[in-house]
Structure 1
Amino acid sequence: MKLNTLYFVVTDYGKNGIGNAGDATADRDLAYSNYCDAIGDDQPARAFMMQFDIGNSELEITREITSDFRDEYVYECIDRDLPISNIIGEAA
């Protein structure tokens, strides 16, 4: 399987445990949408990106991108004059 970049969002479903907020995806916008959905449901969420070598598909980099998604979320809320979820202020 050839992969370039993969995004996934993890959330805490409370008594149901920790799981994915949507499927892992190669689409960053979909991952961001999954993050926003979790935050909108007052669920703490963390976002991650995995990058793979183009030649052999081996994992090269995994990094957390929660702060990037959080910044975009806050900017969009301010830009649209929408309330910012209380969950944003919590340490993810």
Structure 2
Amino acid sequence: MPERLTHHQHIGRTGGLVRAARQTNEAGRKAAAQAARMARYDAQIPDDITDPVERARRCDLLLRAEMAERGRQSALARRNGTTKTTRRRA
């Protein structure tokens, strides 16, 4: 581990340690976030599809489609040099 950390690395490490101290159920926190995300995709699936396995498969497809679109937009922005950055150089 490097001995000298940047300002942002210090802030990130401090935040991570505080969250770890306050959160006792890390797996539960992640599961709740994932369930909320999938509920958003589940709302986009037609109501006539009632099989839970099929609904889960379609939720996964919607997630993959969104990630592919984000990747396409990111590549386009990098190619055009129009990335939206709010970071200041240290």
Q: Report the TM-score when normalising by structure 1.
A: 0.26
Give the structure with the higher percent strand: 1
Higher relative contact order (CA 8 A, sep 6+): 1
Q: Report the TM-score when normalising by structure 2.
A: 0.26
